[in-house]
Structure 1
Amino acid sequence: MGYDYALVHLTYTVPPAILLSILYAPLCTRLDLYKIVFLITIAVTSTIPWDSYLIRNSIWSYPDNAVMGPKIFDIPVEEVFFFVIQTFNTTLLYLLLSKPTLHSIYLAKEKKNDKWKVLKLGGQLGLALIIKKSIDWIKTPGEYTYMGLILVWASPFLLLLWTLAYQFLVKLPLVSTAIPIAIPTLYLWVVDALALHRGTWVISSGTKTGLYLPGIGLEAEEAVFFFLTNCLIVFGLVAFDNALAVLNTFPAHFPTVPSLPTPALLVRALLLPAAAYDDDRILGLRQSVQRLKNKSRSFYLASGTFSGRLRIDLIHLYAFCRIADDLIDNAKSPAEAKLWILKLRKFVEFAYGEAKKGPDGSVTPATDINQGAATLFAMNNFPQDTLLSLLYLPTQRMDKEPLFELIKGFEMDLAFTKDANSTPIKTEPDLDQYGARVAGTVAHLCIQLVLHHYPGLSETASKRVMAAGHDMGIALQYTNIARDLKVDAENGRCYVPISWLKREKMTPESFVSALRSDKNEEFVEKRIEKQRLHLLERAFGLYEKSVGAIEELPRPARASMRVAVESYMQIGRELRTPGYQVKAGRATVPTWKRITVAWRALAGPVHSTR
C-alpha cells in the first residue's frame, strides 16, 4: 500500500480542477453540468474495459507501494479517478474558452459534390486506415503492441465523432478546439513523465517501441495516449455543441428544445442531413452577429452569457435596431432619412399584420399571411446585406408597439438635421421620452423575449420587471449620451436638455461648438463636464431604482441580464473616473475590466458605487 499515485493527483490534477472550477463557476449553467456529467460517464465507461484489459495482460502495471489498494476490475481507484479528473479539467477548459462562441453560425448546408463531402470522406478514410494498421500491430505482438492497443481503442470513437461533427471540428475557432487539446496534453505529458520516472506506474518493455518524446523523455505511446484522450474529450464536446446548434437553429425540424436534451434527441440532431439545413437562417444569423461585433462590444460580450434560442432572438433584435439606426444615420439627406423611417414602419406593419377569417370560418394567422408580403417588401426596399436580419426578427414573440415607438425615437433624431438649436430635447421629460423610445422599448422587448423562453412569472411580477426594464433602458441611454457628447456634437446634435444648458448660460449651439473645439477655456471644459456628470447622475439614479428587478427574472436569464446591464453601466463608471481612456471620441472600458465586470456580475448582484 502506498500513496504515490494519490499524491500525483493532489499535486498535479486536483489543483487545476479547483482553479478551473473557480473561474468557470459564475458561467456554469445546468446545461454545462449536464455536459460534464455526460462526458465523464462516457469516458469512464468506455475506458474501464480497455484499461482493465491492459492491466490483466501486463501491458502496464502499478507497484503495490504506489497505490492504496482498492481496485475496480483490476484498475486502481486512483487510475479510475484519473479518467474523471482529466475529463473534468479538459471539459472545463473547453467550456471556458468556447463560452463567447455562437455555434449556430458555424453550421453549413451541404450541397452536391461540395468540399464538405470530400473533407468528410477524407477524414473517414484516414481514420479507417489507422484502425486497420493498429489491428495489424496487435495481431503481431511486439514493440508496437501498446501503440496498436491505444489506436484501436481511440480511433473508432474519433471516426464516429468525425462523421457526426466534421464541420464543427474544422470550422470552429482554434481557441475552441486546438487549445483545449494542446494545453491539457502538454501538461499531462510532463506529469506522466515525472510519474514514470518515479515508478508510480510501469509500462512493459516488450510492448513499446522505445521511442521517446524529446526534451522530457516520455515514451511515444504515452504521448499519443494523452493526445488522443484529450482529442476524444474535445471531439465529444464539439459534437454535443454541434447537436445543440442544430436544435436551436432550425425550429422547422425541432419545434421545441428541452433545457436538457436527451441523448436520443442529440443524436437525432447530429443525424439531420446537412443538406436539410436552412442556409438563409444560418447566413442571417452570421450577418447579425457580425453587426453585433462591429457596433457594440458591450452587448457582444453580454450576449455570450445567454444561451439557446433566447440568445439567437436577442441577436436578431439587436441587428434590427442597428440596421434601422445605421440606415437613418448614414442617409445622404433628411429626405432619405425620412424615407427610411417610412420603410421601416411599413416593414413592421407587414411583419405583424392582422389575422384574417376565411369564408369557412377558419382563421389564417397574421404571420402566415404577411410573411410573404414582408419578405417581398424587404427585398424591394432594403439593402441586400440587411434582408435576412430583418426577416428573422422574432415578431411572433414580441409586441409590435415597442417597435413602432422605437421608430418614433428615430423620428426625433431627424429634428437634429438643421442645426443644433433645433433640438427636440428641450426639457428633462423630453430626454426621458427620447430614452424611452430608443432604449426603453428595446429593454422591454428583451425582457419579453426572456419571459417567452423562460415562462413562469406571475402577471404582476411580469409587469413589474417590464416597467423596471423600461427605466433601465433609459438609464443605459443616458449613459450612452454622456459617452457620446463629442461624437454627437460632430454630427451637430445636442441631447442635453436646453433647460439644463440655460443654467450654465449656454445654448445647444454654443455647447456643440465647445465640444468640437480642442482649445476651450478651463471654465468651458468644466461646464461641459458638469453636463456629462448630470447625465450620469440621472443614469445611475434610474439604474439603482431598477437594478433590483433583475433578481426577479427567471434564474436562467438573471445572471446574463446582469452582465448586459453592468457591462454598459461600467462605461458610466469610467466616465466618472478622471483620466478615462478615449477611443474615436468615446470613452472605452479596457478589455480586462470588461471581463472582470462580467465575471462579477455573473457571480451575483452588483450595485453601483455613487
Structure 2
Amino acid sequence: MGYDYALVHLIYTIPPAILLSIVYSPLCTRLDIYRIVFLLTIAVVSTLPWDSYLVRARIWSYPETAVIGLTILDVPLEEVFFFFIQTFNTTLLYLILNKPILHSVYLVKEQKGRNDKWKYIRLIGQVALGLTLKKGVDYVRAGGNETYLGLILVWAVPFLLALWSLSYQFLVSLPVTSTILPIALPTVYLWIVDTLALKRGTWVIGSGTKTGLTFWPGLEIEEALFFLLTNCLIVFGLVTFDTAIAILNTFPAHFRHVPALPTPWFAMRALLLPSTTYDDDRTIGLQQAVARLRAKSRSFYLASSAFQGRLRIDLIILYSFCRVADDLIDNASDAAEAKQWVQKLKTFLDLCYSGKVKTANGNLIDARDPNQGPATLYAVRQFPPDAQLTLLLLPTDRLDQEPLYELLRGFDMDLAFSDSSLTGPIKTEQDLDLYGARVAGTVALLCIQLVLYHYPGTSEAKAKRLMGAGHDMGIALQYTNIARDLIVDAENKRVYVPPSWLKKEKLTPESFAGGLTKASGAEQDDFFLKKLSTIRQRLLDRAFHFYDRSVGAIEELPAPARAPMRVAVESYMQIARELRKPGFKVKAGRATVPVWKRLWVAWRMLQGPRKR
C-alpha cells in the first residue's frame, strides 16, 4: 500500500481542476453540466474495460508501494480517477475557450457541385483514420514490441472515426483556439506529469510490449500517443455535442421545439440530418450578423455569449438589424438618401406586419405567406446584399411592431441635424430623453420581449413592468453612448447636449463643437476641458439616474437570463464608470474599456448582481 499515485493527483491533476472550476463556475449552465456528466460517463465506461485488459495482460502495472490497493476490474482506483479528472479538466478548458463562439455560423450546406470540398475533407479524414486503424490491428496481431501501440490505436481510432464522420465541418472550421488549443495544452501538461511518474515508477509499461522509443527522455512514445489521442477523443466528443446543439438551435424548420437537455437520441437525429437540407440563408445571415457585431458592437457581442440557444441567435439578429439600419442611414450620401432608407425600412416593416398587402395591380395577398413573400421580394430588390439576410431573419413573429417603428422615428430625429442646426431636434432635456428612448430604449425593450418569449411564464403585469425597466435601461445606455462619443458626434456636426446645458457653461452649440474638433492653445484647452468634463459628467449623472431606477428589474427576469443580462448592461455601463474617473483619456474620440477589464466585469456579473 502506497500513496505515490494519489500524490500525483493531489499535486498535478486536482489543482488545475479546482482552478478551471472557479473560472468556469459563473458561466456554467444546466446544458454544460449535462454534457460534462455525459462525457465523464462515456469516458469511464469506454476506458475501464480496455485498461482492465492492459493490467491483466501485464502491459501496464502498478507497484504495490505506489497505490492504495483498491481496484475496479483490477484497475487501481487512482487510475480510474485519472480517466475522470483528465476528461473533466480538458472539458472545462474546451468550454471556456468556446464560450464566445456562436457555433451556428460554422454549419455549411453541402450540395452536389457546390461545396464539394467538404465531401473530400470528410473522405480524406475517414481514409486516414481507417488506415491508422488497420495499422493498429496489424500491430496487435503481430504481437511483440508494437503490442501496446497497436492496442492504443485499436481502442481510440474507431471512436475518432465515428466522431469525425459526424462533426468534420466543425473540427475543420472552428478556430484553433476552440479545438487545437484544448487538445495541445492538456496533452503537453500530461506528458510532463507522465514523464515524472514513469521516472518515479508510479506506473510501469511492460518491457516486452513497447517499442522502446521515446518522445523525449523519460517519455515513452506510446504514452505520448495515449495522452494525445485521449484528449483528441474528449475534444472530438465535445465538438460533436456542439455540432448537434448548433443544428438544433439553428434550424427551427427541422426542429420546432428543442428540449433544454436533449436526449442522446434527439441529438443523434440532429447529427444525422443531411447537410443538404440546411437553411443556407440562415447560416450565411448569422455569419454576416456575427461579423458585423464583432466589428462594430464588441460589448454586445461579448455579452451575447452569456445567453443560450435560440435566444442568443435572436438577440444577435435583432442587434444586427439595428446596426444595418444605422449604417444604411449614416453612410448615405446626403440627407435625402438617408430619408429614403428610413422610408424603405418602414415599408419593409409594413410588409412584415401587415395581414394583407395590395400589389401594384390592386390584388390583395397575404404578406406572411412564404409562397407570396412580398417582404422577401422587397428586401431583395431594395436593400444591398449584405443587409438582406439580416432583414429577412428578423424575428418579427415574436417582436411587437411599435418599438421598431419608434426606432425609425429615432433615426428621423438624427436626420434633423444640419449645418445650421447642430443640436437638431434636441432642444431640451426631455427631447434628449425622447431620443434615447427611441434609438436605445426600444432596442432594450425588444431584448426583454425576446427573453420573455424564450422563457415563458411571466404574468402580463410583470412583463409590462420588466419591459418598462428595460426601456429605461436603454436610455441609460444611450446617455453613456453620447457621453463617450461627444468628439465623434461633433466631427459629424451633431451636438446632442441640450442648449440649456451649454448656456449654463457659457457655450453655444457652435463653440462647443468647435472646441471639440479644433486644436487650441494649452490654456484655452484646459479651460474648455473643464467645461467639457462638467457637461460629460452631467450626461453620466443622467445615465446613472435611469440605470439606478431600472437595474433592479434584472433580478426579476427568468433565471436563465438574469446573469447574461447583467453582463450585457454592466459591460456597457463600465464605459460610464471609466469616464467618471479623474484623468481618464479619450482615445480617437471615444472612451474604451480594455478587453481584460470587460472580461473581468463580465465574470463578476455572472456570479451575482453588483453590490450597491
1:523 maps to a residue whose letter is F
1:585 to 586, 589, 594: 589
Q: CA deviation at 1:254?
A: 0.6
2:529 to 484, 505, 525: 525
Q: CA deviation at 1:213?
A: 1.2
Counterpart-to-counterpart distance in 1, 2:584 and 2:104:
37
Contact kept in structure 2, 1:420 and 1:512, CA below 8 Å:
no
Q: CA deviation at 1:355?
A: 6.2
Counterpart-to-counterpart distance in 2, 1:371 and 1:196:
71
Superposed CA deviations along residues 490-512 of structure 1, whole A, max 9, x for unmatched, are 01101011121121222222211
Which sections of structure 1, spanning at least 5 residues, go unmatched? 357-363
Deviates further, 267-276 or 227-236: 267-276
Counterpart-to-counterpart distance in 2, 1:388 and 1:287:
8
Q: Secondary structure, in 3 states, of the residue corresponding to 2:458? A: coil
Residue 361 of structure 1 corresponds to none
Contact kept in structure 2, 1:563 and 1:601, CA below 8 Å:
yes
Superposed CA deviations along residues 28-72 of structure 1, whole A, max 9, x for unmatched, are 111111111011010001001100111111111111111111111
Deviates further, 577-586 or 222-231: 577-586
Counterpart-to-counterpart distance in 2, 1:126 and 1:66:
39
C-alpha spacing 1:603/1:394, structure 2 compared with 1 (3 Å): same
Residue 367 of structure 1 corresponds to 368
Residue correspondence of structure 1 range 123-134 to structure 2 within 5 A: 123-134=125-136
Q: CA deviation at 1:367?
A: 2.7
2:528 maps to a residue whose letter is V
**Is 1:103 equivalent to 2:107 in the alignment?**
no
**Identity value in percent:** 68
Counterpart-to-counterpart distance in 2, 1:326 and 1:371:
29
1:179 to 178, 181, 198: 181
2:560 to 529, 541, 556: 556
2:541 to 537, 545, 563: 537
1:199 to 198, 201, 214: 201
Counterpart-to-counterpart distance in 2, 1:191 and 1:592:
31
Residue 258 of structure 1 corresponds to 259
Residue 483 of structure 1 corresponds to 484
The two structures have a TM-score, normalised by structure 1, of 0.97
Counterpart-to-counterpart distance in 1, 2:366 and 2:255:
21
Deviates further, 176-185 or 584-593: 584-593
Q: CA deviation at 1:524?
A: 2.0
Residue 20 of structure 2 corresponds to 20
2:569 maps to a residue whose letter is V
Residue 85 of structure 1 corresponds to 85
Contact kept in structure 2, 1:423 and 1:508, CA below 8 Å:
no
Counterpart-to-counterpart distance in 2, 1:420 and 1:299:
32
Contact kept in structure 2, 1:138 and 1:144, CA below 8 Å:
yes
Counterpart-to-counterpart distance in 2, 1:123 and 1:84:
28
**Is 1:169 equivalent to 2:150 in the alignment?**
no
**Is 1:9 equivalent to 2:9 in the alignment?**
yes
Residue 312 of structure 1 corresponds to 313
Counterpart-to-counterpart distance in 1, 2:378 and 2:434:
30
Q: CA deviation at 1:458?
A: 1.8
Residue correspondence of structure 1 range 233-312 to structure 2 within 5 A: 233-312=234-313
Superposed CA deviations along residues 131-167 of structure 1, whole A, max 9, x for unmatched, are 1111111111100000000000000000000000001
Q: Secondary structure, in 3 states, of the residue corresponding to 2:144? A: coil
Counterpart-to-counterpart distance in 1, 2:599 and 2:240:
28
Residue 49 of structure 1 corresponds to 49
Superposed CA deviations along residues 107-130 of structure 1, whole A, max 9, x for unmatched, are 111122501001111111111111
**RMSD across aligned positions (CA):** 1.5
Residue 360 of structure 2 corresponds to none
Residue 136 of structure 1 corresponds to 138
Q: CA deviation at 1:470?
A: 0.5
C-alpha spacing 1:54/1:337, structure 2 compared with 1 (3 Å): same
The two structures have a TM-score, normalised by structure 2, of 0.96
1:209 maps to a residue whose letter is T
Counterpart-to-counterpart distance in 1, 2:491 and 2:439:
20
2:121 maps to a residue whose letter is L
1:542 maps to a residue whose letter is F
Counterpart-to-counterpart distance in 2, 1:448 and 1:153:
50
Contact kept in structure 2, 1:352 and 1:370, CA below 8 Å:
no
Counterpart-to-counterpart distance in 2, 1:74 and 1:422:
81
Counterpart-to-counterpart distance in 2, 1:20 and 1:35:
16
Residue 359 of structure 1 corresponds to none
Q: Secondary structure, in 3 states, of the residue corresponding to 1:213? A: strand
Contact kept in structure 2, 1:280 and 1:388, CA below 8 Å:
yes
Residue 94 of structure 2 corresponds to 94
Contact kept in structure 1, 2:366 and 2:372, CA below 8 Å:
no
**Is 1:62 equivalent to 2:28 in the alignment?**
no
Q: Secondary structure, in 3 states, of the residue corresponding to 1:351? A: helix
Residue correspondence of structure 1 range 212-227 to structure 2 within 5 A: 212-214=214-216, 216-227=217-228
